[in-house]
Amino acid sequence: MNNVIFIGLVSFFADLSTEMVYPLIPLYLTTVFGATPALVGVIEGIAESLASLLRVFSGYITDKYRRKKPIAFAGYAAGLVYKLILLIAGSWMGILVARMIDRFGKGIRTAPRDVLVSESCDADKLGHSFGIHKALDMAGSAAGILIAFFIMKAWNGAYAYQDLFLLACIPAVASLFMFVFIRETGEPCEVTEPLHLVQGFKTLDGRLKLYLAVVFLFTLGNSSNVFLLLKAGHVGFDPASVVLLYFLYNVVSSLFAVPFGKRSDRIGRKRLLVAGYFTFAIAYAGFAWAPNKTIVIATFALYGLFTAMTAGVERAFVSEIAPKELKGTMLGLHSTIVGIALLPASVIAGLLWNAFGSVAPFAFGAGLSLASALILSIGLPQKEANVSV
């Protein structure tokens, strides 16, 4: 379990660094470089999707060579490069390059990191362990956002973006230092026998096939979180208050990730995932038709509950039913599917916003989430086998 905690601390400092600047990216793009919501959507979609194929590839390399720690380290190091490029970016094209490098790093690190978590705990504590990791991950995000909020308040409207980008490099370095305390799981060696991916995909558990299809459908309506921040500004929140709303979302996610993860160990993953998708549908409906700021605040908290219900639980679900020799590949494939769907999701959201107003993208996302919840509820068997890690 110590390994899980140190892996969580890597994510804590990395997300602290990232979230110090992430809430300001849409503001930076729109106020400094004159970007429209549609362009913001394109930038976010491209950044997520071009790196998405790396996720399944890094998972495959993890399975083949069984070296998780150095691959994850390289992915987190890209987060530091991201902040350095933000410092010198002179146009929205520079921001796009920076975001692509950041997502490139996420694409590399996600699968090996998740395999490290799954192999650092007992099989009956997968949900708990992924919940611990997610709690530390979101706590880092919350801390970064709170720091950004107080800095923005101190700026008093005169935003010194480069100063904040430079400050964000400090926790990025701290996240890399945490790797000193993480031990590699298993024996690092090249598998001499080829990994039979095609045969492995054919024999995948039917529940995993269904879930991966539902993940793609759901993600088409789950556009970049920058649209949540833009919506809050559209309702009337000032930039500093928008950052505070994002802080609320991360705090709620962090507080409930472990309880929901432990509960999924007891009652099965399906119930938590279905409940999470229904919660997302309600939250996005709230973003679509929020009549006042109070509802927007409540909706950000509800969106945090959705993340706590699903983010760690879905990784535990994939880990426990994926073939042991393809665990990294399947975790990478899950992230790849999400990444591939994010490009059309963000582009669609931006186009719907431009054409029909801010209600349209959130109503669209709520509808797809509701459909995903119904498909899982009806199509996924109630009993879930507990496969040993």
The H-or-E segment that residue 201 falls in is helix 197-202
Neighbour count for residue 344 (Cβ, 10 Å): 14
Between CA 281 and CA 286, with CA 284 as vertex, the angle to 5 degrees is 110
Which of 91, 97, 94, 96 is CA-nearest to residue 34? 91
pLDDT computed for residue 181 by the predictor: 93
pLDDT computed for residue 274 by the predictor: 94
Instruction: Write out the two tokens for 23.
Output: 């809430």
Confidence of residue 365 (pLDDT cuts 50, 70, 90): very high
Neighbour count for residue 160 (Cβ, 10 Å): 11
* C-alpha to C-alpha distance for 132 and 134, rounded to whole angstroms: 5
Instruction: Write out the two tokens for 302.
Output: 């509800």
Decide: residue 293, CB within 10 A, 0-12 exposed, 13-18 middle, 19+ buried: middle
For residue 40, pLDDT over 70 is answered with yes
The H-or-E segment that residue 245 falls in is helix 239-267
Q: Is residue 389 part of a domain?
A: no
Q: Is 185 left (phi over 0), alpha (psi -120 to 50) or beta?
A: beta
Instruction: Write out the two tokens for 52.
Output: 């998405």
Confidence of residue 388 (pLDDT cuts 50, 70, 90): very low
Q: Tell me the CATH number at 315.
A: 1.20.1250.20
Mean of all residue pLDDT scores within the chain: 84
State the pTM of this model: 0.78
Q: Is residue 386 part of a domain?
A: no
Q: Is residue 193 part of a domain?
A: no
Instruction: Write out the two tokens for 346.
Output: 């963000």
Domain extent, residue 330, equals: 2-182+199-379
Q: How many domains does the chain have?
A: 1
Render pLDDT for 285-294 as a digit per residue (tens, 0 to 9): 999 998 788 9
Spatial neighbors of 98 by CB under 8 A, at least 6 apart, are 82, 85, 86, 89
Q: Is residue 194 part of a domain?
A: no
Q: Is residue 384 part of a domain?
A: no
Which of 277, 341, 342 is CA-nearest to residue 309? 277
DSSP calls for 267-290:
H-HHHHHHHHHHHHHHHHHHHHH-
DSSP calls for 122-171:
-GGGHHHHHHHHHHHHHHHHHHHHHHHHHHHHHHTT---HHHHHHHTHHH
Q: Is residue 388 part of a domain?
A: no
Average confidence (pLDDT) over 304-310 = 95
Q: Is residue 387 part of a domain?
A: no
Amino acid at 354: N
Q: Is residue 258 part of a domain?
A: yes
Least confident of 16-20, 27-31, 50-54, 292-296: 50-54
**Alpha helices, H only, 291-389:** 293-321, 327-356, 359-379
- 151 vs 357 pLDDT, higher one: 357
Instruction: Write out the two tokens for 371.
Output: 């459909």
* C-alpha to C-alpha distance for 277 and 281, rounded to whole angstroms: 6
Confidence of residue 382 (pLDDT cuts 50, 70, 90): low
